[in-house]
Amino acid sequence: MTSPLDKLRVIDLGQVFAGPFAARLLADMGAEVVRVESPFRSGRGGAVPLPGATYPDGVPGERPYNRVAYYNEVNRNKRAVSLDLSKDKGREVFLRLVAISDVLVENFSPRVMSNLGLDYEVLRQRRTDLIMVSMSAFGSTGPYRDYVSFGPGVEAMAGFSSLMGYPGGPPLRAGVAYADAIGGNQAALAVLVALRHRQRTGEGQHIDLSVRESLVSLLGESVIDFSMNKRVPRPVGNRHPTFAPHGVYRCRGDDAWVAISVESEEEWQRCCRAMGAPGWTREPRFSDMSSRRQYQDELDRLMEGWTLDTDKYEAMRALQGVGVKAGAVLTAAELLEDRHLKERHFFQRLSHPDAGVHQHPGVAWRLSRSPGQVERAAPCFAQDNRYVFGELLGMSADEIVEMERDGVATRTPSR
């Protein structure tokens, strides 16, 4: 079986998470993705370990820049070269690479590519049907265009943080780089749409993607609620504006929990049966959804009277067995041992020359005729200089050595 994006070449200038994640989605579908990394700011650090980074067994090793966990996760299936785009020779080589590529992904602030003399109008002179996606925090126009931000700042500016948390408490950030992941997914989708347009018309295009707007687009209900009712949505913790019971309940064991959601009277009766129909479930204060919402504190306390005596998997199976939505709260360790994910062969073992052998999340969707696949671990720094500069661009061995000697394409990051 061939991969759906076979023969597509992508240049990845992405930084940290959002840009690299977008390019990785394309790589998982078979595109040849070439990461172009600065010798001075590779995104994976240099000889000095990155503060706060995760390393195998907690050890940075001799080449910590090849062992950073987050980097190796979002850059699998790619190739990597080092190239200093601030040097004339670096830009020249980069433009030669653009000429034989289909897509370019970058998530710098809008001023960076133009400052390098590599904005879209320059690049399309080398490849007229090039598709370039620029995914900045706030987009290429507007008063915030030059503001820079990581995911938590984008979440705050998108109104997402104001919905996270508990009543009366402060706004909270998501537990993962949620804004970056959403932006990366949207960027990959936009590239596919642009490829379809190019297939029909022969035209490339420049995609202006705001990560903030990607996240705002998921909060439509809150925006519409205010526009229709002048009501500002507030954080509700684990509860729901309508359903009750709805929350996360402690179970038997250390830090064990189960999530339960009941959205109808019929489901409530099923939930009661799963719990053994205790007498309190027939009290008038729990007779309908409105009453249960009014007495949620008491309801949650009584629900935990059952869950605390029950294993979280047992609680999940008992409730799911009668048609009530429930799920055990799993840790990363439990996910790796989850029998359902194992049966679907979701996690993939990858062997990295510096980071070792580890399991990685697989491809999130399965095409029956042209499935994507996880083939290679993330590249080491400058791993593919010889292949890209030599085989793809036709440069001689002497030219490559000269670039390395002049600091245009180093073999190790300087910091």
Annotate 152-174 with b (16+ C-beta within 10 A) or e (fewer).
bbbbbbbbbbbbbbeeeeeebbe
In 221-377, DSSP assigns E strands to: 246-250, 257-261, 325-328, 348-352, 356-360
From the candidates 180, 300, 354, 384, which is the catalytic residue?
180
Distances (CA, A) of 175 to 155, 172, 255: 12, 9, 17
Rounded CA-CA distance 101/82 in Å is: 17
Give Cα separations from 219 to 154, 208, 233 (angstroms). 13, 20, 11
Upstream peptide bond of 235 is cis (omega within 30 degrees of 0): no
Residue type at position 353: P
d(CA 407, CA 415): 13
Query: Which is it for the CA torsion 395, 400, 403, 407, positive or negative?
Result: positive
Lookup result for tokens 């409530």: 268
Catalytic site includes residue 88: no
**242, 255, 351: which is closest to 292 by C-alpha?**
242
Q: Please state, in angstroms and as integers, the Cα–Cα distance from residue 236 to each residue in 162, 170, 247, 338, following that order.
A: 10, 12, 10, 30
Q: Which amino acid appears at position 387 of this protein?
A: Y
Active site residues: 180
